[in-house]
A = this chain, B = another copy of it.
Amino acid sequence: MLTIAPGDTVHTTTVDAGGTDEKGVTRVLGGNPETGPFYVETAAPGDTLAVHLTRVRLNRDWAESDDFLVGRAVDSELAVKMKDGGKTVRWHLDAGQGVATPEKPAEHLTRYVVPLRPMLGCVAVAPNVAQAAPGTGDSGHYGGNMDFNEIVEGATVYLPVSVPGALLYVGDGHAAQGDGELNGNALETSMDVEFTVDVIQGKRMPGPRVESATHIMAMGLAGSLDDAFRGATANMAQWLTEEYKLTPSEVAQVLGTSAEYKVSEVADRNTGMVLKINKEKLKPLASAVK
C-alpha cells in the first residue's frame, strides 16, 4: 500500500484485464487485477475523493478483445445468430496514428479502423469496513469496474470515501471501447497512468460522478438499465440541488431540457447509465448562485 497526499502527482502503470503488462509478461492472475491501493492522506469517511487523471496512455502496441455479444445485448433471435461468438480478436494499436486495427481482420473489416481513446475501466475506493470486499468485476457507489469510456485522460472521477485513506485502486485499461462494452471485453491493454487527488471534506455523494472539460456526469449502477437510469437521474438531481441550489421544480426543468443519457456498460453484474449535462448550460446557474 502506497501512501499519497492530495496534490501529489502519482505515476503508475496498470496491467491489462488478464494480468499482462506492457512487455507481454503475465504478472498477476487475470480478472481485472488493479493497481493499488493508494492510501490518501487526510481522506476520511464522509469525504469525497476527486481523482484527476492527468495521463492515461498506451504503453504497448497490442490489445485483445473478442467477437462475442453479452447476453444483455441480445434478444432471443440475435442470440441464435451470435451463438458461435467468443473467439479472441487481437488488435494492433498504433499510437502514432491514433488508431487500432484488427491484426488479422475478417473479410469485411480489412479497412476497419477504431480511433484510440485510452480509458480506465476500473477506478475504485474501498466500499466500507463492514461490507465484504467486492470483486474487481463489480461496481457500486464506490466506483469499481464502471467500464465507462469517458474515464479518459483529462477527466476527474469523484468517489465517496468510506474508509480512512480512501484506498484508491485503478486498472482495466481499454485502448478503445464502444458504449456498453458489448463484447464483455474492450480492447484490453496495459497502460501508463498519472493522476493527482483532492479530498473534498465533508461532502457525500450517492454514487460515482465524472467531470470532463465539457460535461458533468452522474452515474447510475444497478442490475437493470431501468434502475440504473433512475439511479443516474437521482444522482444528478442531488448534484443540481446541492451544488446549484436548485429547487425540485428547477431540477425538473433543467433535466427536462438538458439531460443527455448514455449507456456506459451492460457486460457485468451492474449495468451503468450516465446522465450528462453540458457545463455551458450550467454556467448561468452557477453565476446566479453567487
Chain A interface residues (CB < 8 Å from chain B): 29, 31, 65-69, 71-85, 87, 89, 100, 102, 106-114, 130-135, 176-183, 185-187, 222-227, 229-231, 233-234, 237, 244-263, 266, 269-271, 273, 281, 284-285, 287-289
Contacts and interface: CB of A to CB of B under 8 A. Distances in A.
A266 B256 CA distance: 11
A158 B287 CA distance: 43
Contacts of A65: 253, 256-257
Contact of A248 (B81, B181, B222, B231): B81
Given A131-B135, A230-B75, A85 B225 contact: no
Contact of A249 (B106, B249, B258, B262): B106
A73 B230 contact: yes
Nearest to A80: B83
A244 B69 CA distance: 18
12 contacts: A67-B249, A67-B256, A69-B256, A77-B79, A78-B233, A85-B248, A108-B289, A109-B288, A111-B285, A179-B260, A180-B229, A224-B227
A132 B130 contact: no
* Dominant secondary structure of chain A at its interface with chain B: mixed
B266 A263 contact: no
Contacts of A67: 248-250, 252-253, 256
A7 B224 CA distance: 42
Most buried by B among A87, A114, A181, A187: A114
Nearest to A282: B112
A114 B78 contact: no
A176 to B, nearest CB: 6
Contact of A254 (B112, B181, B256): B112
Given A76-B79, A250-B106, A288-B111, A262 B260 contact: yes
Given A74-B79, A75-B234, A180-B261, 17 more contacts: A67-B253, A73-B233, A73-B255, A74-B76, A77-B79, A78-B234, A80-B83, A85-B248, A108-B247, A177-B256, A179-B259, A185-B256, A223-B223, A223-B224, A223-B269, A224-B226, A261-B262
